[in-house]
Amino acid sequence: MSVGKKDISCPPEAPGTPLKDSDIKEKKVTYVEDHPDMRYAWTAGQAISRFLNELKEGKLIATKCNKCRRILFPPRIFCELCYKPIDDWVYVQDTGTVQTFSISYIDPDARPLKEPIIVAVIAVDGASKNMAFMHVLGEVEPEDVYIGMRVKAVWKPEEEREGSVTDIKYWKPMEK
């Protein structure tokens, strides 16, 4: 007999009362429903306003700290490590390298997506390490994505751009 072995008996099955969707809809379960209407308009400020306006032009802009020599992306008006104002604005490329990615099959309401969404953190060419752009990948099969894959931004047509991160539709593989 092995040490510590005990005779374990399972408790008898308790069938309980299953809840049906209709029990909730018919309010057999007591609850109160509310749909708050809270809306905000966040001021983009000095750094991000410039960034968003540059997106309209099809460009990615960053800032530079001359002390730690980092290229800060997305741009900010201060270097958070040196705690000093930034020194310059510099453009970075709309190409980069997949740093990490996830192939997501479920939507925020936990329903299956028709097509999986490939979310990726893209290390942007020209920006410093850990200065990346989180976006989605397109024109690629999920099984073909890999860390280290080179990608390029696919922009919306100029007239459709509105100064939003969605002015880039997605990033696609550079190699074919």
Partner 1 sequence: MKVAVVGVGYSGFNANTPDLHWKEITLEAAARAYDDAGINPRKDVDSIVTCAEDIWEGFAIFDEFVPDQLGGVLKPTCTVCADFLFGVATAYMQIKSELADIAVVEAHSKASDILTFGETIKFAMDPIWLREIGNAHPYYFAALEMSQYVNECCITEEQLAEVVVKNKNNALRNSSAPYGSKITVEDVLNSPMVFDPMRKLEIAPRSDGAVVFVLANEDVARDITDTPIWVKGVGWWSETSNYDTMSFNAAYAYKAAKMAYKLAGITNPAKEIDIAEVDDRFAFKEFQHIEALQLSKRFETGTLMQEGYFAKDGELPVNVSGGSLGIGNLLEATGGQKALEIVLQLRRLAGRRQVDAETGVAQAWRYIPTASGAVAVFGV
Using rule CB under 8 A, residue 43 touches partner 1: yes
- Of the candidates 16, 18, 42, 69, which one interacts with partner 1 according to CB under 8 A? 42
d(CA 168, CA 124): 14
Closest separation in Å from C-beta 43 to partner 1: 6
Q: Using CA of residue 112, residue 114, residue 115, residue 117, what is the dihedral sign? A: negative
Our CB check for partner 1 shows the closer of 8 and 32 to be: 32
Q: Could you say which DSSP state residue 10 is in?
A: P
Cβ atoms < 10 Å from Cβ of 48:
16
Of all helices (H) and strands (E), which one includes residue 64? Answer: strand 60-64
Site string for partner 1, 95-124 (x = CB under 8 A): ------------------------------
**Least Cβ distance, residue 19 to partner 1 (angstroms):** 20
Binding of residue 81 to partner 1 (CB under 8 A):
yes
Report, in Å, the least distance between residue 152 CB and partner 1.
29
* Degrees, nearest 5: CA angle 88-93-94: 130
Q: Which stretch binds partner 1 (CB under 8 A): 61-69, 76-84, 146-154, 155-163?
A: 76-84
Examine residue 74 and say whether the peptide bond preceding it is cis (omega within 30 degrees of 0): yes
32 touches partner 1 by CB under 8 A: yes
Among 7, 34, 115, 159, binds partner 1 (CB under 8 A): 34
Angstrom CA distances, 71 to 7, 45, 74, 108, 168, stand at 65, 19, 9, 33, 21
The answer to whether residue 36 forms part of the interface with partner 1 (CB under 8 A) is: yes
Residue of 38, 111, 115, 175 interacting with partner 1 (CB under 8 A): 38
Q: Is residue 119 within 8 Å of residue 107, measured between CB atoms?
A: no
Residue ranges that bind partner 1, judged by CB under 8 A: 32, 34, 36-48, 76-78, 80-83
